[in-house]
Amino acid sequence: MDRLARSGWARAGDAAAALPAHAGRWLAARTGWTPAGTPAAPGAVAPVPPSALPASVRAELGTIVGVEHVLVEADDRLGRSGGLSYVDLLRRRGAGDLLVPDAVVRPADPGEVGRVLAACAERGVGVVPFGGGTSVVGGVAALRGRFDSVVVLDLDRLDRLVSVDPVSRLAVLQAGVTAPRAEELLGRHGFTLGHFPQSYERATLGGFAATRSSGQASAGYGRFEDMVAGVRLATPRGDWRLGVAPASAAGPDLKHLVIGSEGAFGVITELTLRVRPKPVLTRYEGFVLDGWAAGVDAVRALTHDGVRGAVTRLSDPQETEVGFELKGGWKTRAVRGYLAARGVREPCLLIVGWEARTAAQLRAKRKATRASLRGAVALGRPVGEAWRHGRFAGPRQRDALMDQGVCVETLETAAHWSKLSELRAAVARALTAELTTAGRRPVVACHVSHTYETGASLYFTVLVPRDPEDPVGQWTRAKEAASAAIRGLGTITHHHAVGVDHAPHLAAEIGQLGVDVLRAVKRELDPEGVLNPGKLLPEDPTAPR
Amino acid sequence: MDRLARSGWARAGDAAAALPAHAGRWLAARTGWTPAGTPAAPGAVAPVPPSALPASVRAELGTIVGVEHVLVEADDRLGRSGGLSYVDLLRRRGAGDLLVPDAVVRPADPGEVGRVLAACAERGVGVVPFGGGTSVVGGVAALRGRFDSVVVLDLDRLDRLVSVDPVSRLAVLQAGVTAPRAEELLGRHGFTLGHFPQSYERATLGGFAATRSSGQASAGYGRFEDMVAGVRLATPRGDWRLGVAPASAAGPDLKHLVIGSEGAFGVITELTLRVRPKPVLTRYEGFVLDGWAAGVDAVRALTHDGVRGAVTRLSDPQETEVGFELKGGWKTRAVRGYLAARGVREPCLLIVGWEARTAAQLRAKRKATRASLRGAVALGRPVGEAWRHGRFAGPRQRDALMDQGVCVETLETAAHWSKLSELRAAVARALTAELTTAGRRPVVACHVSHTYETGASLYFTVLVPRDPEDPVGQWTRAKEAASAAIRGLGTITHHHAVGVDHAPHLAAEIGQLGVDVLRAVKRELDPEGVLNPGKLLPEDPTAPR
């Protein structure tokens, strides 16, 4: 098993990401940043507390999964202590408290998952389901709830492609399969899932379903929830399977109660997923629109005209600037000159990626997109391919920035088209106000990476010199300000899920009745409340303690 | 208010549908049918029982909605006694017991709906939400559950277009708006909903959402659930609103718990619906494939190639025969000759309807469809337009057939592509075996009217001479046989909903855990259990009585 260092995105053996010199110069001028060390060296965290798991429970779990799959060593537990948010990484670097589970349990199959849950429910042990551990909202934090001990249920051994139905274009995969592995397994049958979120390299299918993930190619392939044709959930009360038909009117669609349930109702063990033939041809191009309003009008028109690429991604002027300066610095001058000569004052970069099975299809798609994009300046393939090349690099860049004293984090929301610009302005204003101090000026950059007929997502990236006195509080307060700004205009989360961080905001979005309904479902499926304590649902003041 | 005669689909003033002579000849030869009278004349039902609603409750409801909107006269109550299934119509013609509500309550707005529900919960009065009353699964049957009285909550006064957001392509409409009225109201803004089920002429938006309806143009516009961007639900515990963004990862999608809830969790009062610009151009054409297998291969290829029409509908050989003989008898000989000359042995009619904003778009769509349909015989526009002309005529034809002693009913299911033909054969076999007697030979016809990437629907129409001794039992037993055949292969209902008829089969499809979850949600939102007793959920053996 991979020993997760988890003081950053990069794995132990990965080459360290470095901050290019030009990027450092820009960052210093733009934000007031000066190079600073990490708050602590990776690994220099507080001592790992001893496991509180009773020996009898450990033995019982060992009889279910095999004693070698109940891990209690410090390294194993530390590697599964929370997710990969900026604050998670700060904690693992010594800033703030780290929640360490009492053991890691690795079941081999859906049956063992169910038996582990039943045992933990009976013994009163909290269970944190764990896939790739890439949550950025506290979704895998080792909270104990009202229990004395908590185990991480690592699904890494549920790594099989169970079956493929090529006629129906369906594949059954186990929940612990990572996204790259799923593409490899499906690719042997000529299929792709088409789900490529930024967490792609590490995240698992079960996690995608549990968090309502959405990938960079959602315009072409849909959100992950659109791919889920069926689901198998292990609960303390038994196994639950859903999804006998492509569509049904047999009451409420309970799949949608499992998707997004974040391990609070049960553990997803298998998914029946819609797959598609692998595209033979892909092409990425860059375009520039002048100003945010023109950019949004363009992506809305592409969406309404039905001529988006599989990837359709619009950066606002700030993110376009960050992209030029932080990533593509060597080309910035040439591109800026080219755009200025065409009268573009506030460049907004638009990346469009098409996929097709034949050259004629690809040509037709490009032609239709370009016809809708009349007002845009075409930057051609190099810019598009540069984006594709770096599409999963963001988390590694964050490592490099963190290493040098930058507070760097992202958050996302979504709104209907008529409210999108108001929402962007409100969030940017809130973040800027909260993070600006004497000597620190934040960059708040934003892009639209997911569009729908009725609206779109907004994904914010924030860069600001880290507050060395209170690095966790610096971001936590900014995040709270952004969450307050979102309320009433958009959703608290478009694809990062609720976890711990958004739980206090859930009632404002789905109503107190909504929270009550979720609690009722949880009581029904997880009567003892052992599953993923403190995630999804805000702390229940009436729960027994 | 329209006084609903409801001994058939036709309204009081409508011209009576007649069975053409050629159709009668074919029916006699094919099924053994001989003309017979209706079991009883419309209106000749058992006397309407007196209202059991206590005077104090009636007065209280009157203070909420106005005394003139609490109806207790026999005609008003009779007109809202159940839906429009074959068995419902038989009951209203004197065969079998008719459940008559104790009053009809007509609130004016969402606030009044909520107050009516609170009052009924407090007083222990069952409430049956009622839109167009077109349920064919008992969804509006006036069951009392454990209560002494039951009222029908008629939503006909919630008939407003509340707002339109043209940028986001969203419209807020009240639940009692009928489908034709919605098209009229939206049409003034240049929009269409694109939802055209066979119940179109009468059904309401709230009913579409409550039953997970799917329309004839689902290939172009999606199922009704795909159009629901937001929902407002009145419950005995208060008002609940969902849908702030086009997509969200804020936990399970609770909209999907309200859609398909069939009035058992609350009453849908408003819907925020995705709308689209009205198409300027439409064109319908007919094609013929040779045999069921070739037909299914063709519609699957159209779906996988992404070149379906907005309407894409394949009849099996039996339904193609029924269409030729029962509806288009005057042309049958010519068409049969044309097909025979082209070597077609088992004609399966395929209707494709395209919609577009420009002639070039329409041309491109037709070209793409026809390229995918290489093996089909093109019958051109007349056949396509004939289908379009008669697309809502089915229920009126049923009236004519019922009037002359034919048992005529439909049922639907859906399955993944790899199981579709097995499912069709199993259901046809079960229906045929159950309905065949000395002198009665059923016609079991089937079509695919909704396709998905992973599968399709099957819609069966059954014609057989009515058993004069036990007309209700004749169909009830056949339906049970079909439901048993569906189990494990497909869904118990693709777009007719659960109602009373499918409730006993729900656990087999969604598991006992699924039923338990639905009960938990109902307990949370409707603690007294007054809402639509006996629908969606099978009778709860543990419920207090």
Please check whether residues A215 and A141 belong to one and the same domain: no
Residues A165 and A261 in one domain: yes
CA distances from B400 to A489, B43, B201, B391 (A): 53, 17, 18, 16
| Confidence (pLDDT) at B400 | 87
Residue recorded with tokens 């029962």: B326
Q: How confident is the model at residue B403 (pLDDT cuts 50, 70, 90)?
A: confident
Answer whether residue A413 is part of any domain: no
Query: Across the interface, do B514 and A254 touch by the CB < 8 Å criterion?
Result: yes
Mean pLDDT of B162-176: 98
- Cα distances from A159 to residues A2, A108, A181, A182, B495, in angstroms, run 14, 9, 8, 9, 36
Smallest Cα distance from B116 to chain A, Å: 19
Note whether B417 contacts A510, CB cutoff 8 Å.
no
Whether pLDDT at A540 is above 70: no
Can you read off the two tokens belonging to residue B88?
Answer: 């419902």
CB proximity B365 to A under 8 Å: no
Round to whole Å and give the CA distance between B413 and B487: 10
Do A208 and A264 belong to one domain? yes
Is residue B65, in this structure, part of any structural domain at all? Answer: yes
| A492 is a domain residue | no
Residue B116 touches partner A, C-beta closer than 8 Å: no
From residue A164, how far is each of A66, A157, A225 by CA, in Å?
Answer: 30, 20, 19
**What span, in angstroms and rounded, lies between the C-alpha atoms of B407 and B393?**
17
Residue B71 pairs with which residues in a beta bridge? B104
Q: Which of A43-52, B298-307, B499-508 has the lowest mean pLDDT?
A: A43-52
> Which of B167, B225, B250 is nearest residue A418 as measured by Cβ atoms?
B167
* CB-nearest partner of B511 from A240, A489, A521: A240
Q: How confident is the model at residue B18 (pLDDT cuts 50, 70, 90)?
A: confident
Q: Say if A479 falls within a structural domain.
A: no
User: How many Cβ atoms from other residues are within 10 Å of residue B304's Cβ?
Assistant: 17
Q: Helix, strand or coil for residue A243?
A: coil
**Residue B456, strand partner residues:** B415, B451
Query: Domain end: B376, B391, B406, which one?
Result: B391
Of the candidate ranges A209-223, A275-289, B89-103, the one whose mean pLDDT is the lowest: B89-103
A53 shares its domain with A76? yes
Instruction: Tell me the C-alpha distance between A483 and A490, whole Å.
Output: 10
The Cα of B245 is separated from the nearest Cα of chain A by a number of Å equal to 5
Q: What is the CATH number of the domain that holds A139?
A: 3.30.43.10
A135 is in an annotated binding site: yes
Which distant-in-sequence residues (6+ apart) come within 8 Å of A328 by Cβ? Answer: A335, A386
Q: How far is A453 from chain B (nearest CA, A)?
A: 7
Interface residue of B163, B164, B168 to substitute, partner A, most A CBs within 10 Å: B168
**Mean pLDDT across the stretch A372-398?**
89
Asked if residue A51 lies in contact with residue A105, where contact means CB atoms within 8 angstroms, the answer is no
Amino acid at B123: R
| CB-based contact A246 B455, cutoff 8 Å | yes
Residues 304-333 in B contacting A (C-alpha not used; CB under 8 Å): 304
Residue B541 exposed, middle or buried by CB count within 10 Å (0-12, 13-18, 19+): exposed
ipTM value: 0.96
Residues of A acting as catalytic residues: 459
A171-216 pLDDT, tens digit per residue, is: 999 999 999 999 999 999 999 999 999 999 999 999 999 999 999 9
Distance from CA of A440 to the nearest CA of B (A): 32
Give me the pLDDT at residue B50, please: 95
CATH of the domain at A173: 3.30.465.10
Asked whether residue A60 is assigned to any structural domain, the reply reads yes
pLDDT at B313 over 80: yes
**Full residue range of the structural domain in which residue B286 is found:** 281-391
Listed range (A89-98, A437-446, B157-166, B359-368) with the worst mean pLDDT: A89-98
Q: Are residues A218 and A316 in the same domain?
A: no
Interface of A with B in 436-475 (CB under 8 A): 450, 452-457
Residue type present at position B44: A
Predicted confidence at residue A538, as pLDDT, reads 80
Strands B347-356 and B311-315: antiparallel
Please write the tens of the pLDDT for every residue from A131-156.
999 999 999 999 999 999 999 999 99
Neighbours of B10 (CB within 10 A): 17
Chain B interface includes A163 (CB < 8 A): no
Domain end call among A218, A252, A277: A277
CA dist., res. A323 & res. A210, Å (int): 31
On the question of pLDDT at A517 being above 80, the answer is yes
Tell me which of B510, B531, B540 to substitute to probe the interface with A (most A C-beta atoms closer than 10 Å). Answer: B510
The mean per-residue pLDDT over the stretch B193-218 comes to 96
pLDDT tier, A541 (very low <50, low <70, confident <90, very high otherwise): low
Instruction: Name residues 247-276 of chain B within 8 A of A (Cβ).
Output: 247-262, 274, 276
Per-residue confidence (pLDDT) for residue A21, from 0 to 100: 86
Per-residue pLDDT for B354 more than 90?
Answer: yes
Rounded average pLDDT over B424-436: 98
- The percentage of chain A sitting over the pLDDT mark of 70, rounded to a whole number, equals 94
B214 at interface of A, judged by CB pairs closer than 8 A: yes
Closest in B225, B242, B304 to A514, CB measured: B242
Q: Are residues A153 and A245 in the same domain?
A: no
- Calpha distance A285→A365 (Å, rounded): 13
Q: Give bridge partners of residue B538 from the DSSP assignment.
A: none
Asked if A275 and A171 touch (Cβ cutoff 8 Å), the reply is yes
Q: Is the confidence at residue B70, as pLDDT, over 80?
A: yes
Check pLDDT > 80 for residue A13. no
Neighbours of B190 (CB within 10 A): 12
d(CA B127, CA B142): 8
Range in A12-21, A149-158, A203-212, A425-434 the model is least confident about: A12-21
Which residues of A are less than 8 Å from B193 in CB distance? none
CB of A146 within 8 Å of a chain B CB? The answer is no
C-alpha A6/C-alpha B444 separation (Å) is 63
Number of independent structural domains in chain B: 2
Q: What does the DSSP 8-state code read for residue A505?
A: G
Q: Could you tell me if A67 and A149 lie in one domain?
A: yes
**B357: amino acid identity, one letter:** R
A chain contacts of residue B246, beta-carbon cutoff 8 Å:
414-416, 452-456
**Which of A256-260, A305-309, B84-88, B332-336 has the lowest average pLDDT?**
B332-336
Min Cα separation B406/chain A (Å): 28
Of the ranges A384-393, A412-421, B207-216, B301-310, which one carries the lowest mean pLDDT score?
A: A384-393
Q: Is A414 on the interface with B (CB under 8 A)?
A: yes
How distant is the Cα of A254 from the closest Cα of chain B, in angstroms?
Answer: 7
Mutate to test the interface with B, among A240, A453, A492 (most CBs of B within 10 A): A453
Phi, psi of A100 (to 5 degrees): -110, 130
* Residue in A223, A238, A454 closest to B169 by CB: A454
Q: How far is CA A231 from CA A30, A52, A152, A239, A531, in A?
A: 48, 33, 21, 11, 18
pLDDT at B1: 38
Nearest chain A Cα distance for residue B1, angstroms: 30
Interface contact B535, partner A, CB < 8 A: no
Q: Is residue B68 part of a domain?
A: yes
For testing the chain A interface, which of B241, B244, B262 should be mutated: the one with the most A CBs within 10 Å? B244
> How far from A468 is each of A44, B240, B479, CA to CA, in Å?
17, 45, 72
Looking at chain B from residue 507 to 526, which residues have their Cβ under 8 Å from any Cβ of chain A? 509-511, 513-514, 516-521, 523-525
Tell me the C-alpha distance between B545 and B71, whole Å: 28
Q: Are B415 and A524 in contact (CB < 8 Å)?
A: no
Q: Read off the pLDDT of residues A100-125 as tens digits, 9 standing for 90 and up.
A: 999 999 999 999 999 999 999 999 99
Contact B513 A453 (CB under 8 A): no
Residue B329 has pLDDT above 90, yes or no: no
Q: Which two tokens stand for residue A334?
A: 């040439």
Residue B92 has pLDDT above 90, yes or no: no
What's the start-to-end Cα distance of chain A, in Å? 36
pLDDT band of residue A1 (cuts 50, 70, 90) is very low
CA angle A13, A18, A20 (to 5 degrees): 160
Tally of residues, chain A = 545
A529: left (phi over 0), alpha (psi -120 to 50) or beta: left
pLDDT value of position A403 = 87
Sheet architecture: strand order including B228-235: B161-165, B170-174, B267-274, B228-235, B238-242
Q: Locate A354 and state its tokens.
A: 């098409």
pLDDT above 60 for A303: yes
Q: Which residues of B touch A214 (CB under 8 A)?
A: 247, 249
Residue type, position B209, single letter: A
Residue at token pair 């507050």: A467
Chain B residues touching A525 at Cβ < 8 A = 513, 517
Return the pLDDT at A545: 44
Q: How confident is the model at residue A34 (pLDDT cuts 50, 70, 90)?
A: very high
Which of these three, A277, A311, A329, is where a domain ends?
Answer: A277
Q: Which residues of B touch A300 (CB under 8 A)?
A: 167
Identify the helix (H) or strand (E) that includes residue A348.
Answer: strand A347-356
**CA B43/CA B3 separation, integer angstroms:** 13
Report how far residue A457's alpha carbon sits from residue A495's, in angstroms, rounded to the nearest whole number.
9
Rounded to whole angstroms, the Cα distance separating B395 from A36 reads 76
Q: Does B536 touch chain A (CB under 8 A)?
A: yes
- Do A42 and A144 sit in the same domain of this protein? yes
Distance (Å, whole) CA B265 – CA B252: 17
Q: What ranges make up the beta strands (E) of B139-186? A: 150-154, 161-165, 170-174
The tens digit of pLDDT for each residue in B437-452 reads 999 999 999 999 999 9
Both A29 and A144 in a single domain? yes
Q: Provide the annotated binding site of B for substrate.
A: 398
pLDDT of residue A2: 44
- The angle, 0 to 180 degrees and rounded to 10, between the axes of the packed helices B21-31 and B329-341 is 60
Contact (CB<8Å) B250/A165: no
Query: Per the annotation, does A208 bind a ligand?
Result: no
Residue B456 lies in a domain: no
Are A272 and A295 within one domain?
A: no
Where on the phi/psi map is residue A306: left (φ > 0), alpha (ψ -120 to 50), or beta? Answer: left
Contacts of A84 (CB under 8 A, 6+ apart): A6, A9, A133, A134, A135, A136, A395
Specify if B431 maps to a domain.
no
